[in-house]
Amino acid sequence: MSVLIGVQPRAGRMSRLRSFGGNWLFALSCAVLVGFVLLAVLAPLLAPYPPDATDLLNSLAPPSPEHWLGTNQVGQDTLSRLIYGSRTSLVGPLMIVVLSTLLGIALGLVAGWRGGWVDAALSRVFDIMFAFPGLLLAILAVALFGKGLAAPVVAMSVAYTPFVARLVRSLVMQAKARPYIAAYAVQGFGAAHVAGRRLLPNIAPTVLAQSTLNFGYAVIDLAALSFLGLGVQPPTPDWGAMINEGRGAILAGTPLSAVAPALAIIIVVVAFNVVGEEIADRLAGRDL
């Protein structure tokens, strides 16, 4: 659903956002992300109710001192489900980002470092991978392996890999031409050592910026899958699944149990985008 836009290593790309919001926007976004991580880790301490505790007499209740965000159709506390839902909604994307970053670095490093036919062959592979958008591959994975998070997470990791790999490849090709790389080679260091230990740390921050942006997209894609009823299954709380469960409540005119997780998704994704772009911005024009 989302389209990944690569980090462009170009000077002054987002300086306009910085000039608008200044660094407080970046700081706020970091704080928001830390806050959601704490929410996920401390869920049992923070949630006022167990996420699956039902109270049928109290279904679709409006916000009250007992239920700050009201309840859903089966009387589950929306706030508690929102807090517990941050776990599945963030852990899945985290795994996608880690897997696709590792895989992308490995493939991009090999393609950029070796060049020649290896690069040509890998670039064709990336082109073909681009033709399978993340959500589509995840839907296919569910068709093959059944509902749940495991198969879609692996599928999306594969789909996100070429975005990282292509960036790493171009960074490696830029960095490879720098004198310090030749200097290491002259000193007799092996290719694996120079590429892995000397070159990689220099390009890692830029890759981190791309991965941060990817995290936001992964949150959207996985939530969409759960919204379609193909990802996280009820009664497990998950933001995307909560929106799906809340569709009836929306038509009944009491949308809070669906709108609350919707806002949570938007806030998290905006925060990831601001942080990712700010990192990319600070790195722009840097020597590799």
Partner 1 sequence: MTWFVARKLVGMVLTMLVTSFLVFASLYVAPGDPLDFLLQGRSPTPEMVAAVSEQYGLDDPFLVQYWHWLVGVLHLDFGRSLQFREDVAHLIGARVPTTLGLILMSGTMICVFGLAVGIAGALTAGRVYDRALLVLSTVLAAIPSFVAAIILISVFSVRLGWFPTSGAGEGLADRIYHLFLPAVALSLTFIALVSRVTRSSMLDELRREHVEVALSRGMTTRSVIRRHVLRNALGPILTITGLLVAGLLVASAVVETAFSLNGMGSLLVQSVDKQDFAIVQAIVLLVVFAFVIVNTVVDIAYPFIDPRVTAGPGAR
Interface residues toward partner 1, by CB under 8 A: 1-3, 5, 13, 16-17, 19-21, 127-128, 130-133, 135-136, 139-140, 142-145, 216, 220, 223-224, 227-230, 240, 243, 246-247, 250-251, 253, 255, 258-259, 262, 265-266, 269-270, 273-274
Q: Which is nearer to partner 1, 178 or 247 (CB)?
A: 247
- Residue with Cβ nearer partner 1 (237 or 261): 261
- Between 89 and 202, name the residue whose CB sits nearer to partner 1: 89
Look up residue 138 and give its two tokens.
């995840």
The CA distance from 72 to 62, in Å, is 9
Give the integer Cα–Cα distance in Å for 104 and 156: 13
Report whether the peptide linkage leading into residue 201 is cis, meaning its omega lies within 30 degrees of zero.
no
Least Å distance, CB 206 to partner 1, is 19
Dihedral pair phi/psi, residue 14, rounded to 5°: -110, 15
Provide, rounded to whole angstroms, the least separation between the CB of residue 90 and partner 1.
15
| Least distance between partner 1 and beta carbon 168 (Å) | 19
Take residue 143 and report the two structure tokens written for it. Answer: 């068709």
Min separation Cβ 200 and partner 1, Å: 28
Q: How far apart are CA 253 and CA 49, in angstroms?
A: 24
Q: Nearer Cβ to partner 1, position 142 or 203? A: 142
Beta-carbon count within 10 A of 142 CB? 20
Which one, 140 or 204, has the nearer CB to partner 1?
A: 140
| Minimal distance, residue 160 CB to partner 1, in Å | 14
In the complex, minimum distance from the CB of residue 4 to partner 1, in angstroms, rounded to a whole number:
9
Nearer to partner 1, 47 or 218 (CB): 218
- CB-count burial class (<10 Å; 0-12, 13-18, 19+) for 239: buried
**Own/partner pairs, 284-287, CB within 8 angstroms, 24+ separation:** 284/9, 284/10, 284/11, 284/12, 284/13, 285/9, 285/10, 285/11, 285/12, 287/178
Q: How far apart are CA 11 and CA 162, in angstroms?
A: 24
Least distance to partner 1, CB of residue 146, Å: 9
Nearer to partner 1, 64 or 233 (CB): 233
Nearest approach, Cβ of residue 186 and partner 1 (Å)? 34
What is residue 71's three-state secondary structure?
strand
- CA 53 from chain centre, in angstroms, equals 30
The identity of residue 13, as a single letter, is: R
Alpha carbons 237 and 41: distance in angstroms, whole number? 15
Closer residue to partner 1 (CB): 63 or 196:
63
